[in-house]
Amino acid sequence: MTELTSLRPVAAVLVSAVAIVPILASRGRPNLREAWTVLAALAKLGIVASMVPGVLAGDTYVTDFGTFVPGVQFVLRADSLGILFALLASLLWLVTSFYSMGYMRGLDEHSQTRYFAAFAGSLASAIGIAFAGNLLVLFVFYELLTVATYPLVAHDETDEARAAGRKYLTYTFGGGVAVLAGAVLVYWLTSSPAGPGTTAFAAGGIADLATADPVVARVAFALLITGFGVKAALMPIHSWLPDAMVAPTPVSGLLHAVAVVKSGVFGIARVVLDVFGPDLVGELGMGTILASIAAFTLVTASVIALRQDNLKRRLAYSTVSQLSYIVLGLAVLHPYSLVGGLLHIPAHAFMKLTLFFCAGAIHVETHTDDISNMAGIGRRMPLTMTAFGVASIGMAGIPLAAGFVSKYFLLIGTVETGDIVFTLALLVSGILNVAYFWPVVYTAFFESPGEQDPKPLVEAVLGGRFGERDVAADGGRPDDDPDGESAGPADDRGHADDHGYADDHEGQGPLDDAEAAAHIEREHGPDERPAWEHRRWTGEESTWLMLGPICFAATGSVVLGIVPDAAVFLRIVRLVVSGVTGVSV
């Protein structure tokens, strides 16, 4: 491995951070504001992509800013694991930027300038996480990501959105404290009379930890995994994620596919592979414990998803489950499982982004959020629902989609290690994936309004929040309050809508009651549940600013499933695993 001094890692971080200034300066000029967003996304992707050939050849790009705290350098390093996350985040930010334009304009949303600025800040933090050279630098960007994404979670400014934002901050800042405590313990464990300690990442783990006190090492490992496990949504520290579905759908895509939850599993990957190393994790007995938590999470979250009628909440619990596939692969510690877990990072990103993009398009075009109201919607939105079906196939691990390849490696890894319980957990979760995705596809294409089966499949209370009001998708308030009375039309700022438009809102505002009724009648006719209006496959169902990203993400899901060896992500994953284990997979 060759370390090359380069400004490209810091440039990749700064390009979107610097873009915040012109985005904010373009308030009131949406075309210019969105042009800055796209230019920054293209520049970030170009910088990250320029380092991929060198990383595949064994090079590491390093930007060293000198001493951060005594004994710790502020270093950004673009190594193979970092480039995996950075390439994924920068590519999908570009796609999500186009989708955001169609979504935010389609709903005539408020505070769009703040939205795009926060998005840019979030991606700057995510790339900082990817290229952090040690635990303390990773901690800094991990906390910055929380700060940058809070305005997105609480974007709608309703009581539900603010409550979701507070919960998000409480959980993620608490996780950050655990990460800092774990990093301090690692530094202390690696200190000696001969010199200061270290938190710098090293392929296969920090050598000095192998001779450290095993009890304290276990505590440090547990703190780090707990801290990163918050954003990875491991149970029981997962409940912030379904509640955050009150945010606009592109934000849900950011949370679930591009940055936030992926930063959690990426942090766990750094701890397992580059701080403690697979060998030491196995010796400490922490791998089995972590794998057990992941197996419990992936099965339980799948069961809870069965009872969610709101499409975004069903997808949210699906994310909780799918993230644990990644953690399980890392915790099993076999080279095949490591490949499967790391490959599921981009596989899940493409598939879940497709699903959330589809949910957002449905919301924008039909104002429909519940699966029970989607009977026959495939006629109204054929391209969208077909993409949803393709991504669902991949999420269930069916061949010819990305999820099959990553889950195949995971299964082989658990079989090779003899962990049959984990093998069974993977198989059961796969069946449950079919059980909660198939009803959506079947309802859309094979049922008509008034004839559909009740959804969700499971009515018993199996999880989620108790004694609280449900959070409606995309920031909308539930139609009725818990006492059965209609919610008031005005919020605490006196606006007669649920969005609280600010001064930089561009457009004519939301539909009033008469216009909304007319919209529903145009779509559905005067009856309660008539047939959907048929639309052709040529883009009539929505704007191409939304359909284009949907098709791109769905195509990526197929490409990763059909030609995985030709996809650069698998090549990077193989490089990571061979560097850590010395085994070529």
pLDDT, tens only, 464-516? 333 333 433 343 334 444 333 333 333 443 433 333 333 344 433 444 444 54
pLDDT, position 450: 60
Q: Which of 67-71, 370-374, 482-486, 500-504 has the highest mean pLDDT?
A: 370-374
- pLDDT of 274 reads 93
What's the CA gap between 120 and 126, in Å, rounded? 10
* Res. 341 pLDDT band, cuts 50 70 90: very high
Mean pLDDT of 85-92: 93
Per-residue pLDDT at 285: 92
Residue 529 pLDDT level (bands cut at 50, 70, 90)? low
pLDDT band at 143 (very low <50, low <70, confident <90, very high): very high
Comparison of pLDDT for 514 and 11, the residue scoring more: 11
Question: What's residue 566's pLDDT?
Answer: 76
pLDDT in tens, 402-444: 889 999 999 999 999 998 999 999 999 999 999 999 999 999 9
With a cut of 50, say whether residue 42 has pLDDT above it. yes
C-alpha distances in angstroms, 286 versus 135, 220, 282, 360?
Answer: 19, 11, 6, 40
pLDDT tens per residue across span 176-231: 999 999 999 999 998 877 778 889 999 998 988 988 899 999 999 999 999 999 99
* Average pLDDT over all residues of the chain: 83
Q: Which has the higher per-residue pLDDT, 273 or 546?
A: 273
Closest CA to 472 of 98, 163, 261: 163
User: Token digits for 461?
Assistant: 């209370």
Q: What is the DSSP code string of 493-561?
A: T--SSSS---TT--SS-S--HHHHHHHHHHHH-SSSS-PPPP--TTSTTS-HHHHHHHHHHHHHHHHHH
Mean pLDDT computed over 341-366:
92
Query: What number is the average pLDDT over the span 357-374?
Result: 89
Residues 88, 261 contacting (CB under 8 angstroms): no
pLDDT band at 575 (very low <50, low <70, confident <90, very high): very high
Nearest-angstrom CA–CA distance, 431 and 267 = 29
pTM assigned to the model: 0.85
What is the predicted pLDDT for the residue at 448?
78
Instruction: Return the minimum-mean-pLDDT range out of 155-159, 207-211, 342-346, 420-424.
Output: 155-159
DSSP secondary structure letter of residue 132? B
Q: pLDDT band at residue 165, thresholds of 50, 70 and 90?
A: confident
- pLDDT at residue 184, as a whole number: 93
Residue 452: predicted pLDDT: 52
Residue 250 has a pLDDT of 82
Place of tokens 């309050």: 481
Query: What pLDDT sits at residue 480?
Result: 41
What does the pLDDT look like over 283-295, one tens digit per residue?
A: 999 999 999 999 9
Q: What share of the chain has pLDDT > 90, as a percent? A: 53
Do residues 311 and 473 touch, judged by C-beta distance below 8 A? yes
* Residues above pLDDT 70, as percent of the chain: 85
Specify whether the CB–CB gap between 342 and 407 falls below 8 A.
no
